[in-house]
Amino acid sequence: MSVSLLRNPLIRFLVLAAIYLLVLAASLALSLLLRFDFSVPPAYWRDLAASAAWMLPLKLALLCFMGQFRSLLTFFSLPDATKLALAMVSAAALGLLGWFIFHGQGVVPRGVILIDLVLSFSALTSLRVAMRLYRERHTGNPTSLSGRRKRMLVIGAGKAGAALCLEIQSRRGLGAEVIAFVDDDASKIGSTLHTKPVMGPLAELPGIITRLGIDKIVIAMPSAAPSVIKSLVQTANNFGLDHDILPSIAQMLDRRVTISHLRHVEPEDLLGRPPAKLDEKGIGNLVGGAVVMVTGAGGSIGAALCRQITAKSPSRLLLVERSEPALFGIHEELRHAFPSMELHPLATDAGNAERMEDIFRNHKPSLVFHAAAHKHVPMMEQQPAEAFLNNVVATDLVARLAGEHGAGRFVLISTDKAVNPTSVMGATKRIAEMVIAELQRESRGCVYAAVRFGNVLGSSGSVVPIFRRQIALGGPVTVTHPEATRFFMSISEAAGLIMQSAWQARGGETFLLEMGEPVKISDLARHMIELSGLVPHKEIEIRCTGLRPGEKLVEETSHSSETVQPTVHPKVKSIQAPSHMGEIRTSITALHKDLNRIGHAELRERLHRMASGS
């Protein structure tokens, strides 16, 4: 019978009823034979016929009631087995009740009913398991018209690779098959893992790929160095192979590796930054049970902060965000991930004085992370007033309200572009740092601090998503200058170190996050093209467009006049604000009054003078 016919509900029901009836009838007959050691008196065959006339329809009715005509037969799990057991136990109980009502007349012996309970359940379970095994081994999504399975080579014969192999073997319908493992560990080479050979070392990977006819490699080495990952990707690209990676060390440790964890190799994997170890206890003491506010909660950093904050069990989280779609997105994500968490999505501009006053008065946050800001350098060059209002005036407002309403800590998210700023965006963020330092000098209880770091990989508007879109369109990939460099870190690492800085803050510090070595933008572009399986300058052009207004060739992390000090965390440095910066907030008030009567050129000049302290 064709599969299309089985999609008709009535035909499917009739076919399943016939199959179940055949299995149940055979089970009942075999039970009678077993009861009498295969020497059944003729009278009991008549009892069997009479009993089958009502017991078999009863069992079918119970199976239907338990949903066994609606469930997908080839997907069998413990809940399905439980329902089968309940149906058969109920049928046996009713059969025994019938025996007592009729005093055994015209009903099979009680022993037959009990044997039939075991046999019918075993038979139906075996049928369903067989159907599932058939699906896993012989059906699924083929990777080609011939239905040939994709031949996979797993790099790494450790816990991650072993768990992944088991997952693939149990899901044959994926259309993939692990052919072998490759590892550098000499003690593993030559052995087998889940019946698959372990080959190696990695230096022999090209030959292994050729001999085995591999279609895809999977990197299952969560602690592999970026140079190793880069070499593996290059080898895969040389052979035109698809490549994925299992990146999470946490997943490796608790052995919950599944196919869903696989993803393509990303620029972060080549960054070469080991995960930062945080003071989880200290951060937990800071956030746990607290009322926490995050402004810019829908942005890249704000959202990452919200995710890490909710994991520390605050009593309440206030999500301040003026973009309704962004606010809806992060609120829905957190609501589903932490259903018992008290979340307050607050759609407002952080610079709205009346609304922010109301929020502080009603919610009394004790910890404030101010991530709301305009950050795109060229765009802010054309709109300096917006940069001033959002990055300076709103920061002054929220920071001041935090102190007035009893917040214990206020943390400003700053940027390395605030160091010797050449752009409006950098100048406004530098002024925001100066505002925090001045408020700290005036503070009677609130601890003010700023956290300064560079570019975040994958954030909205950053080069990574821009390059990804350009590659998808066939190029060119545009970089501003062949020698332009930037500091990079991942979003999750930045958020974690911001939390670490908030815990360490004692008042007035500007914390510098250790960013590692600067990365050439042109190198990042080349790596991303290679990760896409393409050849830079041949299949995808890299084109230099020149530095845009306000951009630097090389970013800096501190001013020459600043003294950088180590802290208790190796990836967090500290700068104590000088005490001679002047009354910056007085200058802000004056510029705010003049904002509507001065032009862009004068506004830019005044912002840069304020940022330089003159």
Indicate the average pLDDT of the chain: 84
Tell me the C-alpha distance between 529 and 467, whole Å. 9
Question: 30 is written with which tokens?
Answer: 């075999």
Q: Are 309 and 410 part of one and the same domain?
A: yes
My answer on whether omega of the bond before 274 falls inside 30° of 0, hence cis, is: no
Tell me the C-alpha distance between 415 and 432, whole Å. 11
Of the two residues 228 and 260, the one the predictor is more confident about is: 228
Tell me the C-alpha distance between 334 and 298, whole Å. 11
545 inside domain: no
271 inside domain: no
475 inside domain: no
Tell me the C-alpha distance between 378 and 383, whole Å. 9
Q: Tell me the pLDDT band of 169, cut-offs 50, 70 and 90.
A: confident
- β-pairing, 192-193 vs 196-199, is antiparallel
What local confidence, expressed as pLDDT, does residue 614 receive?
66
What local confidence, expressed as pLDDT, does residue 3 receive?
44
User: What secondary structure letter does DSSP report for 177?
Assistant: E
3 state SS of 344: strand
Contacts 24+ apart (CB under 8 A), 106-109: 106/47, 106/50, 106/51, 107/47, 107/50, 107/51, 108/28, 108/31, 108/32, 108/44, 108/47, 108/48, 108/51, 109/35, 109/44, 109/47
| Residue 526 pLDDT greater than 60, yes or no | yes
Q: Are 515 and 607 part of one and the same domain?
A: yes
Instruction: Say what the pTM is.
Output: 0.65
Of the two residues 432 and 259, the one the predictor is more confident about is: 432
What local confidence, expressed as pLDDT, does residue 141 receive?
44
What local confidence, expressed as pLDDT, does residue 142 receive?
42
3-state secondary structure 503-559: HHCCCCEEEEECCCCCEEHHHHHHHHHHHCCCCECCCECEEECCCCCCCCCECCCCC
Q: Which residues contact 394 (CB under 8 A, 6 or more apart)?
A: 295, 349, 350, 351, 372
Q: Tell me the pLDDT band of 251, cut-offs 50, 70 and 90.
A: very low
Q: Are 179 and 307 part of one and the same domain?
A: no
- β-pairing, 509-513 vs 572-576, is antiparallel
Q: Are 451 and 596 part of one and the same domain?
A: yes
Domain boundary among 138, 161, 177: 138
**For residue 131, what are the CA distances in angstroms to 61, 68, 94, 124, 372?**
22, 14, 29, 11, 55
| Residue 527 pLDDT greater than 50, yes or no | yes
Report the pLDDT averaged over residues 176-186: 89
Question: 150 is written with which tokens?
Answer: 């994709």
Q: Are 499 and 415 part of one and the same domain?
A: yes
Q: Tell me the pLDDT band of 286, cut-offs 50, 70 and 90.
A: very high
What local confidence, expressed as pLDDT, does residue 579 receive?
54
125 inside domain: yes
3 state SS of 443: coil
Domain boundary among 84, 112, 138: 138
Report the pLDDT averaged over residues 518-542: 82
374 inside domain: yes
- Number of domains into which the chain is organized: 3
Q: Tell me the pLDDT band of 254, cut-offs 50, 70 and 90.
A: very low
**For residue 573, what are the CA distances in angstroms to 114, 421, 519, 566, 567?**
75, 20, 20, 5, 6
Report the pLDDT averaged over residues 455-472: 76
Of the two residues 159 and 22, the one the predictor is more confident about is: 22
330 inside domain: yes
- The answer to whether residues 31 and 116 touch, using CB atoms and an 8 Å cutoff, is yes
What local confidence, expressed as pLDDT, does residue 591 receive?
93
Domain boundary among 265, 300, 321: 265
| Residue 265 pLDDT greater than 90, yes or no | no
**Chain segment 113-161, per-residue pLDDT in tens:** 899 899 988 888 888 777 766 655 554 444 433 456 788 899 988 888 8
- The answer to whether residues 298 and 327 touch, using CB atoms and an 8 Å cutoff, is yes
Of the two residues 311 and 137, the one the predictor is more confident about is: 311
Q: Are 199 and 237 part of one and the same domain?
A: yes
> Residue 196 belongs to what H/E stretch?
strand 196-199
What local confidence, expressed as pLDDT, does residue 40 receive?
85
- The answer to whether residues 595 and 388 touch, using CB atoms and an 8 Å cutoff, is yes
**Chain segment 563-592, per-residue pLDDT in tens:** 889 999 999 999 876 654 557 888 999 999
Report the pLDDT averaged over residues 344-354: 96
- Structural domain that includes position 590: 285-455+488-520+555-612
| Residue 5 pLDDT greater than 70, yes or no | no
Question: 574 is written with which tokens?
Answer: 């500290």
Q: Which residue has the tokens 């359940």?
A: 121
- One-letter amino acid identity for 188? K
Report the pLDDT averaged over residues 204-224: 87
Q: Which of the given ranges, 256-260, 334-338, 467-471, has the highest pLDDT on average? A: 334-338
Of the two residues 265 and 434, the one the predictor is more confident about is: 434
Q: Are 375 and 430 part of one and the same domain?
A: yes
What local confidence, expressed as pLDDT, does residue 245 receive?
80
Q: What percent of the chain has pLDDT over 90?
A: 39
What local confidence, expressed as pLDDT, does residue 342 receive?
95
Q: Are 310 and 218 part of one and the same domain?
A: no
Q: Are 426 and 373 part of one and the same domain?
A: yes
Question: 196 is written with which tokens?
Answer: 């698959």
- The answer to whether residues 392 and 418 touch, using CB atoms and an 8 Å cutoff, is no
57 inside domain: yes
525 inside domain: no
Q: What percent of the chain has pLDDT over 70?
A: 86
Tell me the C-alpha distance between 155 and 181, whole Å. 6
How many residues can be counted in the chain?
614
Angle between the N-to-C axes of helices 353-363 and 394-404, in degrees from 0 to 180, rounded to the nearest 10: 30
Report the pLDDT averaged over residues 458-484: 81
| Residue 349 pLDDT greater than 90, yes or no | yes
Q: What is the CATH number of the domain that holds 209?
A: 3.40.50.720
**Chain segment 63-114, per-residue pLDDT in tens:** 888 777 665 555 566 667 788 888 889 988 998 888 888 877 878 888 888 9
Q: Enumerate the β-bridge partners of residue 456.
A: 489
Of the two residues 423 and 131, the one the predictor is more confident about is: 423
What local confidence, expressed as pLDDT, does residue 249 receive?
45
What local confidence, expressed as pLDDT, does residue 578 receive?
62
Q: Which of the given ranges, 8-12, 224-228, 302-306, has the highest pLDDT on average? A: 302-306
Q: Are 354 and 419 part of one and the same domain?
A: yes
Q: Are 497 and 604 part of one and the same domain?
A: yes
Q: Are 259 and 331 part of one and the same domain?
A: no
**For residue 596, what are the CA distances in angstroms to 381, 386, 561, 600, 602?**
17, 12, 34, 10, 12
